[in-house]
Chain A
Amino acid sequence: MAGPIYAADGPGAIRAVPLDGLVALFHRPSGMTHIVAPPAPQILEALQEGPADARTLLARIAAVYEIGEGSAEAIEARLAELEEAGLVRRA
């Protein structure tokens, strides 16, 4: 039942700059720049604790934030986007 496990690169791999509500990210390994909206930065931060699946990530994030609409399924969708962008990968 657990979904795929994702991992992000370590803290040195990304340079992040907040820009009015969004975050600009430079991903060193790929040389690509992304602008991301919540909950993407929160997911990337939560993955710093170690590789995890959507359900686990939801729990990590819920420990810190009040989750509005959404569920593990929404986190899955965000992870798929981040994977497409090369910011996370399947562990």
Chain B
Amino acid sequence: MGDAMSEQSSKEGGVLANPTRRTVLALGAAAASTVVTIRPALAQTAGSVMNCQIPVPGPQHSGQYIAADGSLVAPGTPGSFAPPARPITGEEAKTLLRGGFTPNGMDSQSAQAYANYIRRLQSGMSGFTCYASLQLPR
């Protein structure tokens, strides 16, 4: 991966210059997608009122890696990448909490897989969770 040092300097570079100079930049396959758009809330739509459950995948898929399409697979599956939040020991947790952040840098291919994973987290429309979890369907 070789991005341990670039992770440091990427903070100094322009906000959009991430990864940094002379790092390998994968452009992604033609069919890949690199843009996740936060969907607008449909607060006024009756349909969203009925659906108070947000069936997003739980974040606790400890030990699993992210495949290129964003699905979760067993670690070591060819082509899969460790999510930025890989399972950790108590010691690593302490380090993380002090530093505040995910410890490892990410190359552009992992980043693309991560974006796909994140895209799958969006279900329904943003803006409607169970503000009031008791709506009866008509």
Contacts and interface: CB of A to CB of B under 8 A. Distances in A.
B119 to A, nearest CB: 8
A41 B18 contact: yes
Dominant secondary structure at the A interface: mixed
Interface in A18-34: 18, 20-23, 32-34
Of A21, A73, A76, the most chain B CB neighbours within 10 A belong to: A21
B108 interface: yes
Contact of A70 (B19, B26, B110, B118): B26
B37 A16 contact: no
A34 B37 contact: yes
Contacts of A78: 27-28, 34
Interface residues of A, number: 40
B84 interface: yes
Given A39-B108, A66-B22, A81 B16 contact: no
Q: Which secondary structure dominates chain B's binding surface?
A: loop
Contacts, number: 131
A20 B99 CA distance: 13
Contacts of B102: 20
Given A61-B25, A74-B30, A77-B28, A21 B35 contact: no
B26 to A, nearest CB: 4
Interface string B101-122: 1100110111110110010000
Interface string B80-107: 0000100000000000000001100110
Contacts of B22: 64-66
B23 interface: yes
Contacts of B106: 20-21
Contact of A36 (B26, B27, B36): B36
Given A32-B38, A38-B112, A85-B37, A70 B17 contact: no
